[in-house]
Amino acid sequence: MQYSMKRLLQVGLLGLLAALAMSSAGCKTRPKNVTALPGSEARAGGTDLPAGKPLPSGGNTGNGFAGTSPGARPYNPNNTGPGVDLPPATDGIDKPIGNTPLPAGGFGEGRTEDRETLKANVVYFEYDKSAVKKSEQIKVAAVAEYLKSHPDALLTVEGNCDERGTEGYNLALGERRALAVREALLNLGVPAASVSTVSFGEARPADPAQTDAAYAKNRRAEFVLLPANAAAVR
Amino acid sequence: MIRFTNCRQGFMAALVAVVFTCHGWAQEASIVIEDKVAGLVPIHISGYTGEVDQTLKFDLEVAGFVLVAPDKARYTLTGKNGTQVEGTLADSARRAVLARSYPGGTPRAQAHSLSDDVVQAVTGRPGIARTKLAFKHETGKRNQHNEMVSEIFVADYDGANAFQLTQDGTVSRSPAWQPGHRTLFYTSFRPGRPCIFSHDLATGARSPISNFNGMNDGAAISPDGTKIAMVLSKGGSPDIWVGNVDGSGLRQLTSTREAESSPTWSPDSRTLCFSSSEGGGTRLQLISASGGSMRPLNIGGLRGATEPDWSPDGKWIAFTRMGGGKNFEIYRVDAAGGVAEQIGEGEDPSWAPNSRTLAVIRRQGNVRKLSLLDAFTKQPKDVRTISGSCGQPSWAK
């Protein structure tokens, strides 16, 4: 009895998402203006520095956080979600996208994170790529529809990478993935002020195993909803 | 002068002499290239015990020495430790090069002082045994947000006396020293999203420097201590931005559609090198810190170059090459461009003040180890005093 109820709910949810996605399938991607890079210029020459000095001796002390009061984050249940292995799709790779500035100023401060509502829409990426594949666009469309029907809600897109890249590179790649998803949302009519991004690089693997299947689950963007009124959600 | 004992050695010597003479290191080259063990300086150490013995041997191996039997040694270091460390360094003709005692401080500090003097006497350049490193350290635990918790640590260059600087219980990463100051810059997720902080080690005070929406990462402080370069995505793409060290006066240097990462400064604080994905793949780019356009650094056509780090003497840029997969290689290239030379395995190189040693990270299974790599001899030396995974070393300068 319990099982069939759950099953019914799942089917119903999937149907709703599919309907939402189809309703937005007609949207076309806007071409973006691209600023051409100017020509090259001469580099300033380097000069020698005096030899390095050891630090003064003495203990490193203090862990105070003067000048800032970083607030603790509200608790949210873990969301590792069942990942799926992706076929080696080649669609939609490297589609150029424009740069739309992120919202300025505070974003969703004081709001409670909701990782549940949109958890079925995790967007997966090809190795070393940040383009949103065609197979993933239905998920982005579902998120866009949700946001358009909840205009007070804000959204953070979290970009993640597998570990097969240097840390420095993966931080930027994760952000690039989050920004690519954001751009796709904006192309579907979501206001730019509603969506921000964050990159975890390789610091938050969905599956820490060192296998191709795990890597495929880790190359992803997750959606964190910031509802206007936390109590109204769910 | 340089003496050649056989043909192969002579060829190597000539090759190395040309390279080093070009950089004004002829004196040092004459010492390094006479050795028969791939540029390593053979030394025999005797008379020390316990921590002092281990510390001396670690220091000198990192500095390009190799421990050998007395009859194979170019130098012998003899002495003792007790209330103080004493040492006499003699060359192969048994001439004393150095004879000194080291009272005061811990036995470890005394040993570091002696090895620095040995390095100075043999190479003519200051040692690095009393310098410090900052790095990211992962305990392997996840917090309630499912993040791999990482904290910023500061330690002696050999991993000893490690001090946990942050206690944020979240992702902290990308530590960078402010040259000439005891201040670290790093990114912490403590506010709920990435924010770059400056952290004064003397007072413990920390201040938010960059707290924009999106990415705030990759802080690099100019060698003159006045400017900060960062990777911010507030413009809609991860770009290089430069501002005053307090975060004011921000200026966007790159505006590509692809990702830039890992900015590093030239010693004159006028030029930045960074990695960019613009145009496909990743390559190293240079740009004036006052603005203008970026231009590629010639590294001889290698692909997948990331994480550049400019040596303090200005001569070299070390970087990581991603060859695909999880194994990374460390290269160095003349800062003016040229053919890059592989000097080891690992990632995220950071130059020591001597412009010779690099702190790198080597992945071994699931663990990431801090390792010190000698760019001259290509000899790696793993730091074994730290358990767990380390990342993103930054050498204090």
Q: Is it the case that residue B278 has pLDDT exceeding 70?
A: yes
Tokens of A195: 């969506």
Contact: B313, A49; criterion CB under 8 Å: yes
User: Which residues of chain A lie closer than 8 angstroms to B306, CB-CB?
Assistant: 165-166, 168-169
Q: Which amino acid, residue B213?
A: N
Reported ipTM exceeds the 0.90 cut? no
Q: Judge: domain A113-234, CATH 3.30.1330.60.
A: yes
- Residue A65's pLDDT is 32
Tokens of B339: 């053919």
Q: Is it the case that residue B139 has pLDDT exceeding 90?
A: no
Of A179, A15, A192, the C-alpha closest to A103 is: A192
Of A34, A46, A168, the CB nearest to B268: A46
Boundaries of every domain in chain A: 113-234
pLDDT in tens, A93-149: 334 446 899 998 889 888 999 999 999 999 999 999 999 999 999 999 999 999 999
Q: Judge: domain B37-123, CATH 3.40.640.10.
A: no
Of A73, A101, A130, the CB nearest to B145: A73
User: Which residues of chain A lie closer than 8 angstroms to B250, CB-CB?
Assistant: none
* Rounded-to-integer distance, Cα B157 and Cα B108, Å: 12
Boundaries of every domain in chain B: 1-34, 37-123, 132-395
User: Which residues of chain B lie closer than 8 angstroms to A156, CB-CB?
Assistant: 193
Cα B372 to chain center, whole Å? 8
Q: Stretch B347-376: mean pLDDT, rounded?
A: 95
* Rounded-to-integer distance, Cα A180 and Cα A182, Å: 5
pLDDT in tens, B280-316: 789 999 999 999 999 999 999 998 999 999 999 999 9
Low pLDDT (below 70) residues in chain A: 1-98, 229-234
Share of chain B above pLDDT 70, in %: 90
Strand bridging mode B206-210 / B216-221: unpaired
Which residue in chain A has the smallest CA separation from B147?
A204
Contact: B235, A99; criterion CB under 8 Å: yes
- Residue B142's pLDDT is 85
> Is A211 part of the contact surface with chain B (CB cutoff 8 Å)?
no
Q: Stretch B116-140: mean pLDDT, rounded?
A: 94
- Residue A61's pLDDT is 26
- Residue B2's pLDDT is 38
Which of A109, A157, A167 should we substitute to test contact with B (largest number of B Cβ atoms within 10 Å)? A167
B185-199, B313-327, B329-343: least confident range? B313-327
User: Which residues of chain B lie closer than 8 angstroms to A45, CB-CB?
Assistant: 268
For chain B, give the mean pLDDT. Answer: 89
- Residue B279's pLDDT is 81
Contact: B314, A71; criterion CB under 8 Å: no
Q: Is it the case that residue B20 has pLDDT exceeding 80?
A: no
Write b or e for each residue in B89-104: b if 16 or more Cβ atoms lie within 10 A of its Cβ, otherwise e: bbeeeeeeebeeebee
Contact: A66, B206; criterion CB under 8 Å: yes
Which of B108, B119, B125, B145 should we substitute to test contact with A (largest number of A Cβ atoms within 10 Å)? B145
Q: Is it the case that residue B43 has pLDDT exceeding 90?
A: yes
* Rounded-to-integer distance, Cα A177 and Cα A91, Å: 16
Contacts of B65 (CB under 8 A, 6+ apart): B40, B41, B42, B43, B75, B122
> Is A53 part of the contact surface with chain B (CB cutoff 8 Å)?
yes
- Residue B330's pLDDT is 97
Q: Return the axis-axis angle of helices A2-23 and A134-149, rounded to nearest 10°.
A: 90
Q: Stretch B386-397: mean pLDDT, rounded?
A: 94
Contact: A68, B271; criterion CB under 8 Å: no
Which residue in chain B has the smallest CA separation from A93?
B280
Beta strands in B211-298 (DSSP E): 216-221, 227-232, 239-244, 251-252, 260-265, 271-276, 283-288, 295-296
For the sheet with B206-210, list strands across it. B172-177, B183-188, B195-200, B206-210
Of B208, B294, B353, the CB nearest to A68: B208
CATH topology of domain B132-395: Neuraminidase (2.120.10)
The residue whose two tokens read 């103080």 is: B84
- Residue A10's pLDDT is 54
CB-count burial class (<10 Å; 0-12, 13-18, 19+) for A63:
middle
Contact: A55, B262; criterion CB under 8 Å: no
Of B197, B233, B397, the CB nearest to A175: B233
Which of A169, A173, A187, A196 should we substitute to test contact with B (largest number of B Cβ atoms within 10 Å)? A169
Contact: A76, B144; criterion CB under 8 Å: yes
Of B165, B257, B292, the CB nearest to A97: B257
Q: Return the axis-axis angle of helices B107-123 and B50-62, rounded to nearest 10°.
A: 30
> Is A111 part of the contact surface with chain B (CB cutoff 8 Å)?
no
User: Which residues of chain A lie closer than 8 angstroms to B307, CB-CB?
Assistant: 166-169
Of B171, B204, B215, the CB nearest to A61: B204
- Residue A40's pLDDT is 26
- Residue B281's pLDDT is 84
